Amino acid sequence: MPSNRVVVIGAGPTGLEAARLAAELGSPVTLIEKKDVPGGMPIHADYAALTHHFRDASEAMAEMIDAVTSNDLIDIRTGTEVTAVDGEAGAFTVGLAANGSSESVDAGAIILATGFQHFDPGRETQQYQYYELPDVVTIADAEKMIKSGSFVTPSTGKTPERVAFIQCVGSRDRQIGNEYCSKVCCGISSKQAIEIRQMVPDARVFIFYIDMRMYGYWENEIYWPAQEEHKVNYIKGIITEILPKGGRLVVRGEDTTMGRPMEVEMDVVILAVGMEPSEGTTAMSGILNLPTNKYGFVETAHDILDTVTTTVPGIFAAGAAVGPADLDDSIASAGAAAAKAVSLIRSAGVPV
Ligand SMILES: Cc1cc2nc3c(=O)[nH]c(=O)nc-3n(C[C@H](O)[C@H](O)[C@H](O)COP(=O)(O)OP(=O)(O)OC[C@H]3O[C@@H](n4cnc5c(N)ncnc54)[C@H](O)[C@@H]3O)c2cc1C
Ligand code: SF4
């Protein structure tokens, strides 16, 4: 049946913003989130502060969630999954399942915002021994530690003296097939390096990188202050292995500026893992018949000039479901998807 409703799948930053804007444009919205709480990765993975203003992640997400829960046009369903989608643009039927019961809602348009997951560093980058060495952690683990207010060496609970970041773990890696840059990890690592220097002022912090990729204001607000004010050491180099030695970690590789082998001792090593499509993005692209690219991210129809329209009429995709994205990207594409979804409903003649 023709409907003026927009169904948004995924209530992370992208889905929350898409829902908020579609409702602001006059459409009723059903926002589906499979977890019990909305907020996406910044909430589910306990992010501490967000780039580039170091705003508290819980506070920022609470603001986005409030804007949705306080809007009468938005029906938010947590703990709910989409089981089937039938129909066509303007008149979809979306099957939902929650707590053992099922129902369906009509929708004129659908926005997919099912996001990403962190690269699993134990999967293929075994030389870093993520699952074997407790003091090898990821940037996602480090966010949790920083949020807890205490940054310690996990195996001893003691204050670390030397902390290293290794960039591009699971990204820009032809061997594992993830040739793309995950966009956010250089900025996140530099942000965390600043936070660690503030929490543990005596610790020396090193970032081993292939090349640092900072976008827009992240360069002047994070990268330069990290070096100039917070004395973070950036070393251009490739790390090939991490080994335990006398209660510490030996980090081995090559200093590519000096062109010589390098071996340094650290207390904590943080792997800057990249972004991969979430399980939900993979599952939903199957249910919605959306083509994905070779990495599993949803393909949009018109690439650079239209980053949200998919090849299935009436279905739009935004945020990290479409490819590595920071919050700026996610919010911008959410707005574009919401505007296109409501405009499609209007052009089908359904009053909004
Ligand atoms: C360690 C780390 C720190 C970061 N910090 C920053 C930062 O400081 N600043 C910044 O700009 N960016 C940061 N990012 C990037 C930021 O996390 C993403 O840009 C943002 O989360 C993307 O939002 P999203 O809504 O598209 O995806 P997600 O945040 O992944 O949200 C997707 C939502 O969809 C839900 N979902 C998935 N599948 C389904 C399904 N089948 N049905 C219903 N719901 C489903 C998920 O549960 C989730 O709630 C960071 C990334 C990492 C890895
Ligand atoms: S953002 Fe930096 S760490 Fe992440 S993949 Fe790109 S270059 Fe590597």
- Domain spans of the chain? 6-115+278-347, 120-274
Element (H, E) at 278: none
CA of 13 to the centre of ligand 1 (A): 7
- The ligand 1 atom at the shortest distance from the C-alpha of residue 329 is 19
Q: For a substitution probing ligand 1, which of 52, 114, 146 has the most ligand atoms within 8 Å of its CB?
A: 114
Residue 264 in tokens: 């340094």
pLDDT digits (tens, 9 = 90+) for 225-273: 999 999 999 999 999 999 999 999 999 999 888 889 999 999 999 999 9
Taking domain 6-115+278-347, whether its CATH number is 3.50.50.60 is answered by yes
- CA contacts within 13 A on the Cβ side of 110: 31
Burial 222-259, CB ≥16 within 10 A → b, else e: bbeebeeebebebbebebeebeeeeebbebebbebeee
Helices 327-347, 13-24: axis angle to 10 degrees equals: 40
Residue 275 in tokens: 């972004």
Residue of 94, 99, 86 lying closest to 29 (CA atoms):
94
The residue behind tokens 């506070």 is 59
CA distance 269 to 130: 10
> Do residues 153 and 135 lie in contact, with contact meaning Cβ atoms separated by under 8 Å?
yes
340 close to ligand 1 (CB < 6 Angstrom): no
Residue 213 in tokens: 């990729």
The DSSP bridge pattern shows strands 29-32 and 6-9 to be: parallel
CA of 347 to the centre of ligand 2 (A): 41
283 close to ligand 1 (CB < 6 Angstrom): yes
- The ligand 2 atom at the shortest distance from the C-alpha of residue 189 is 3
Q: What is the pLDDT of residue 125?
A: 66
CA distance 271 to 264: 16
Within 8 A by CB and 6+ apart from 310, the residues are: 112, 288, 290, 291, 298, 299, 300, 301, 316, 317
CA distance 2 to 345: 9
Find the ligand nearest to 275 CA: 1
CA distance 173 to 110: 34
314 close to ligand 2 (CB < 6 Angstrom): no
Q: What is the pLDDT of residue 170?
A: 92
CA distance 92 to 294: 28
Q: What is the pLDDT of residue 90?
A: 96
Distance of CA 37 to the CA centre of its chain: 16
* CATH tag, 120-274: 3.50.50.60
> Do residues 230 and 195 lie in contact, with contact meaning Cβ atoms separated by under 8 Å?
no
Q: What is the pLDDT of residue 335?
A: 98
Residues of the chain with pLDDT under 70: 125-126, 303
Q: Region of 39 please: left (phi>0), alpha (psi -120 to 50) or beta.
A: left
Residue of 119, 215, 251 lying closest to 172 (CA atoms):
119
Residue of 135, 164, 130, 159 lying closest to 248 (CA atoms):
135
pTM of the shown model? 0.97
CA distance 118 to 52: 20
51 close to ligand 2 (CB < 6 Angstrom): no
Do 6-115+278-347 and 120-274 show the same overall fold? yes
Sign, CA torsion 207/208/211/213 = negative
Q: What is the pLDDT of residue 312?
A: 96
